[in-house]
Amino acid sequence: MPMQKARKTIKITGLAFGGNGVGRMDDNGKVVFVPLTAPGDEAVVEITAEKKRFAEGALKEIINASPERVEPSCRWYGACGGCSWGHLTYNAQVDWKARILEDTLRRLGGISGVPFDEPARSPAPFHYRCRARFHCADGHIGFYGARSREVVPIDECPLLEERVNAAYAAIREAIASTDDRSVESVVIGAGAEGPAAAALHVHGRQNPALVKALARTEAIKGFEVRQAASGKLISTHGTVALASNISGVEIASGVSVFSQANRAQNRVLVDKVVEYAGLSGAERVVDLYCGCGNLSLPLALRAGFVTGVESEAAAVEYAKANAARNMPGNTAFHAAGAAAWLERNVKALEKDGTDVIILDPPRDGEFDAARTIARLRPSRVVYVSCAPPALARDAGHLALNGYRLTRAGLIDMFPQTYHVESIVRLDRV
């Protein structure tokens, strides 16, 4: 008979990056991380794992609820892994994200005393996502479960724009009506106007019955089918390009190409990057992880020359096309890994002069690029991050090598989740 797991009464005193509530066990003082709890909760917690320095627990009962706790608005909350902070008031979510950012920079990066901008709250805490990825298994479609890779079938998501929810419903119905088992995942995206578009990633061959069913729906303007393993395009039906006006620039991207999921907050982010860059019109700027030109092109309106670097070739093609439509010729885009390209071009960049580097890496950050930037010594670095630990590591390295972090800001890109989108400016000392 398995040993019964211990249950303890825990007072939750904070939140950690990753979404868990944080408390301490009375008997040994060990920190315990508990999902679905709020600061101020007094709760019965089952200890599910005990490590040398911390423990993990599962919420079993709320004895006294935190004033920051609210009833989640989604009936799949807790099972679905799409949200982690839907049980918190929105003000509490933003306040704790700001605390986590500041604390992580201090603890992991050795950076303190930074002037923080007022957090940029999302104008819509719900129905803000214009892009999402869904997963499929056994003929069902939904999001991965909380802390698992099991698919949780859902009917709709309160974080998605209505057009994305409508497209999702149509695709879910098509998969069910054709008893499809070929689709591994689906990406749905919506531009500023019109119906959404979709990308289906399949095992083996595409399902003709599913393609026919999707071609009939008015909820999507177009879709493409790709091989799940390689990403190779199998077929395209209708229009899959998505377009938005960002800081005065018309930027198009493909549904399979990365773009920010919160359109309103992306505009705030772009404006903040332009502000932090402090351009006067003559600067030479390098934008690492430039994507389709989301930051590069608004910066190019205010800079002497902007070079964008992006590893995804399809995104680079969109960036070049966007530049051709919008720019007077002061941009260049390269399909390459950011750190490798920077290392290869250090001498040329030193010769030409590089005034500002924009860095917007994925979750793991870009320590190799940070080391090269420290050698290149541009006047200013603007770093956009979706993971405070990686930001603290990279910015901390720059701070030890001739840079000072002079501004920092939080843009709440993902309400109801623990994800922290931030921006910092580092000036050469």
* Same-domain status, 135 and 106: no
* Same-domain status, 115 and 147: no
- Asked if 38 and 69 touch (Cβ cutoff 8 Å), the reply is yes
- 147 pLDDT band (50/70/90 cuts)? confident
Question: What is the pLDDT at residue 2?
Answer: 58
- Asked if 111 and 396 touch (Cβ cutoff 8 Å), the reply is yes
- 3 pLDDT band (50/70/90 cuts)? low
CATH of the domain at 416: 3.40.50.150
pTM to 2 decimals? 0.95
CATH of the domain at 57: 2.40.50.140
Q: Helix axis angle, 90-109 relative to 388-399, nearest 10°?
A: 40
Please give the structure tokens belonging to residue 233. 């395009």
Work out the number of other CB atoms within 10 angstroms of the CB of residue 155: 11
Question: Does the pLDDT at position 1 exceed 60?
Answer: no
Please give the structure tokens belonging to residue 302. 């205010």
Question: Does the pLDDT at position 328 exceed 80?
Answer: no
* Same-domain status, 289 and 406: yes
CATH of the domain at 220: 2.40.50.1070
CA 139 – CA 303 distance, rounded (Å):
51
CA dihedral 208, 209, 210, 215 (to 10 degrees): 90
* Same-domain status, 223 and 105: no
Last residue of a domain, one of 210, 242, 274: 242
CA 169 – CA 163 distance, rounded (Å):
10
What lies within 8 Å, CB to CB, of 272 at 6+ separation is 117, 120, 409, 411, 423
**Mean pLDDT in the chain?**
96
Tokens 């306040």 sit on residue: 95
Tokens 């200013």 sit on residue: 380
- Asked if 123 and 264 touch (Cβ cutoff 8 Å), the reply is yes
- Asked if 267 and 251 touch (Cβ cutoff 8 Å), the reply is no
Mean pLDDT of 247-267: 95
CA 61 – CA 234 distance, rounded (Å):
50
CA 210 – CA 188 distance, rounded (Å):
16
* Same-domain status, 271 and 410: yes
Please give the structure tokens belonging to residue 165. 């929810």
Instruction: Name beta bridge partners: 244.
Output: 251
The reply to whether 50 falls in a domain is yes
Closest CA to 36 of 146, 193, 188, 189: 146
CA 94 – CA 117 distance, rounded (Å):
13
* Same-domain status, 379 and 306: yes
* Same-domain status, 292 and 183: no
Work out the number of other CB atoms within 10 angstroms of the CB of residue 27: 8
Mean pLDDT of 328-350: 95
In percent, how much of the chain has pLDDT > 70?
A: 99
Query: Per residue in 79-107, pLDDT tens?
Result: 999 999 999 999 999 999 999 999 999 99
Question: What is the pLDDT at residue 307?
Answer: 98
- 256 pLDDT band (50/70/90 cuts)? very high
Tell me which long-range contacts 368-371 makes (C-beta under 8 A, separation of at least 24).
368/339, 368/343, 369/288, 369/338, 369/339, 369/342, 369/394, 370/394, 370/395, 370/397, 370/398, 371/397
* Same-domain status, 161 and 113: no
What is the domain range of residue 238? Answer: 131-242
Return the DSSP state at 321.
H
- Asked if 226 and 256 touch (Cβ cutoff 8 Å), the reply is yes
Q: Sign of dihedral through CA atoms 394, 400, 401, 407? A: positive
Instruction: Name beta bridge partners: 284.
Output: 305
CA dihedral 146, 385, 119, 412 (to 10 degrees): -40
**In which element (H, E) is residue 93 found?**
helix 90-109
- Our count of domains for the chain comes to 3
Mean pLDDT of 408-425: 98
* Same-domain status, 119 and 137: no
CA 280 – CA 80 distance, rounded (Å):
47
The reply to whether 228 falls in a domain is yes
Return the DSSP state at 316.
H
Question: Does the pLDDT at position 283 exceed 70?
Answer: yes
Q: Which residues are catalytic?
A: 386
Question: What is the pLDDT at residue 29?
Answer: 86
* Same-domain status, 62 and 179: no
The reply to whether 403 falls in a domain is yes
CA 366 – CA 336 distance, rounded (Å):
14
Question: Does the pLDDT at position 429 exceed 70?
Answer: yes
Closest CA to 60 of 41, 76, 77: 41
Please give the structure tokens belonging to residue 96. 């704790």
Instruction: Name beta bridge partners: 309.
Output: 288, 334
* Same-domain status, 358 and 216: no
**In which element (H, E) is residue 296 found?**
helix 296-300
Please give the structure tokens belonging to residue 328. 């007077």
* Same-domain status, 353 and 422: yes
Query: Per residue in 373-391, pLDDT tens?
Result: 999 999 999 999 999 999 9
The reply to whether 213 falls in a domain is yes
